[in-house]
Chains A and B, each alone.
Chain A
């Protein structure tokens, strides 16, 4: 809904100060979206994809070409830039997808589960990419199932359970709060914070799994 891909059923939402319902195109100019599945066209080359996208956001042909080159350098795909996307590996696709979300220099970048299904090396590259984007002044709104990833990347995080925010804060705060409340010797992991916040214990989760398999 925040990315204007779904209609808002009730209430209002603002991204970067813009009402996404009232002015979807204005919002689209301020946000970049990288969805869980890298949404790419296998028959275009990486460079063509970036150029087309830049032009759809209103760049001239020359600006678009320059921006595509810049982005290919940023995600280290210059060598593969003129090959068709069909032959890219999963990690390369994910990086190109990130680049394509950045053509118009958005203020806010939405990233949905950027490393699902990637091997550990590709995952580290994507993480590094996200950090670099963030360091260049773009707010990154990242959703993930891997709390280790949230711990690594996020300055502020919210845990959502059944549609409601049940915990919010910095990873350090959240872990410290649980440590204090439980009187633990060491900091718990974010996984433990999550289980605590959602009221699910390891035992119950294990039990549910057994029920399913029975």
Chain B
């Protein structure tokens, strides 16, 4: 089986793991949403678009949304699960199988990209009633999803690097 196929299998496992622990995804959605609503509601009054230069005529929600999206994309839990695998011995099991070493890391990153796409889409949909629009149209929306997913992958990859180096969740 190709390394990509293996990565796909491991990504599927990582996604199932996320679905079975929905509580781990709730903060990823709620915290960016909280800041979106609070900042748009309050800071939006301080910076009316008519008199605020950096908004360039758009609403404050349009300014706030991207940072909320990146916040959401930076909550990846991949590294925590990886550490659990390492501490629980499952990671050694995977290593004792003829699995490409790249696939072990890539699998989780793929899953993280998919999760990020879903979370970004949900956040954007929830932000629409707050007055943000997707100025660049459907294609821009797809690009937005892709770029945010890429951010999530890089961030999760960095956290996985730390997880693999330290091999523990810290504090013990």
Contacts and interface: CB of A to CB of B under 8 A. Distances in A.
A39 B1 contact: no
Interface in B1-58: 1, 6, 9-10, 13, 16-17, 20-21
B90 A43 contact: no
B165 interface: no
B97 interface: yes
Interface range, B side: 20 to 34
A100 interface: yes
Contacts, number: 66
Given A25-B98, A33-B93, A100-B93, A56 B6 contact: yes
Contacts of B9: 52, 55-56
B89 interface: yes
Interface residues of A, number: 26
B98 A28 contact: yes
A40 interface: yes
Nearest to B18: A43
A52 B98 contact: no
Nearest to B93: A39
Interface in A25-66: 25, 28-29, 31, 33, 35, 37-44, 48, 52-53, 55-58
B106 to A, nearest CB: 14
Interface in B68-99: 85, 88-99
Contacts of B17: 41, 43-44
Contacts of A55: 1, 9
Nearest to B99: A56
A42 B16 CA distance: 12
A31 B1 CA distance: 18
A56 B90 CA distance: 14
Given A28-B98, A41-B85, A44-B13, A35 B92 contact: yes
A4 interface: yes
A5 B92 contact: yes
Given A39-B88, A43-B21, 5 more contacts: A29-B98, A41-B90, A44-B17, A52-B13, A58-B1
Closest 10 CB pairs of A and B: A39-B89, A25-B98, A39-B93, A33-B96, A28-B98, A37-B89, A39-B90, A56-B97, A43-B17, A58-B1
10 contacts: A5-B95, A25-B98, A28-B98, A31-B96, A41-B17, A41-B85, A41-B88, A48-B13, A52-B10, A58-B98
